[in-house]
């Protein structure tokens, strides 16, 4: 099984060029000055793969000045496919550490409203500092603000909690920790998160569901479940990514809210 063989290899180190601050060419030059050699990766628009001296990234000027962010190329593509654009109101509904939040900020080119929420606010502890370094404007919501938000967002991204099977190269211990009982907890949680996130999408707006899982019960089955619970929402395609595509395993499905009159 080629995917399983790829999962046993060491995960590559990928960078996303932060277009709020620089260009791909300028970032490559700045990294090279600090001894970090990179090459463009075709999977995502502003992706660079480190080919020499990955340990030098964190101390490099390009990184400390916010020209690049550490982000797996599949994760970058998910953020790009979400479809954030300048002027939108965008909500990252399971923001976590904020990697995709910052990618959405770059896609919005500093115009619009970018909101971040996570059920566990501690996961977002580093996001204010990361956003400052990136030159990104992000509003981190508290529960009361989320409750008041209503159906205002042009785009809501749900990067849902999952088994993490697509990222086992980075966290190999996950293979031994994932039990059938634990796996069974995720689908109902994913359904509940999707249904709640949908309440913040404006009429005609977009809801994007993503996981870093390779398992159909967390991916296609959840998208099908949402479609059956919300038959008036239009499906706008899906995308599966495995390590054979160059990055972690990911899944993405997009839905369009009905344009109620």
Residues of 191-200 as b/e, b for ≥16 C-beta within 10 angstroms?
A: bebbeebbeb
For residue 153, indicate whether it is catalytic: no
Q: Which tokens belong to 184?
A: 């069974």
Query: Shortest CA distance to 76 belongs to which of 255, 245, 256?
Result: 245
CA distance 229 to 93: 20
Q: Which residues contact 35 (CB under 8 A, 6 or more apart)?
A: 52, 53, 56
Please report how many Cα atoms fall inside a 13 Å half-sphere around the Cα of residue 42, on the Cβ side: 1
- Helix boundaries (H) for the chain: 2-8, 24-33, 61-64, 73-82, 99-108, 127-134, 143-149, 174-177, 180-198, 220-229
Q: Report the residue count for the chain.
A: 261
Active centre residues (catalytic)? 212
């Amino acid at each position: 099984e080629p995917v399983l063989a790829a999962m046993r290899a060491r995960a590559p180190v990928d960078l996303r060029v932060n277009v709020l601050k620089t260009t791909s060419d300028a970032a490559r030059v700045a990294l090279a000055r600090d001894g970090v050699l990179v090459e463009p990766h075709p999977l995502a628009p502003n992706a660079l793969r480190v080919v020499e001296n990955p340990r030098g990234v964190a101390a490099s000027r390009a990184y400390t000045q916010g020209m690049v962010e550490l982000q797996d190329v599949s994760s970058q593509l998910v953020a790009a496919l979400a479809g954030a654009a300048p002027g939108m109101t965008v909500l990252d509904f399971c923001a976590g550490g904020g990697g995709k939040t910052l990618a959405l900020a770059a896609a919005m080119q500093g115009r619009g409203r970018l909101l971040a929420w996570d059920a566990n606010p501690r996961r977002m502890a580093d996001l204010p500092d990361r956003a400052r370094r990136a030159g990104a404007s992000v509003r981190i919501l508290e529960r009361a603000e989320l409750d008041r938000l209503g159906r205002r967002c042009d785009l809501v991204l749900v990067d849902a909690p999952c088994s993490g099977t697509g990222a086992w190269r980075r966290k190999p211990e996950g293979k031994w920790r994932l039990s059938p009982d634990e796996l069974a907890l995720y689908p109902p949680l994913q359904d509940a998160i999707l249904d709640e996130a949908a309440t913040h999408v404006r009429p005609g707006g977009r809801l994007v569901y993503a996981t870093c899982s390779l398992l159909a019960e967390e991916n296609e089955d959840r998208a099908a479940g949402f479609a059956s619970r919300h038959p008036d929402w239009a499906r706008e395609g899906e995308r599966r990514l495995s390590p054979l595509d160059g990055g972690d395993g990911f899944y993405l499905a997009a839905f369009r809210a009905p344009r109620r009159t």
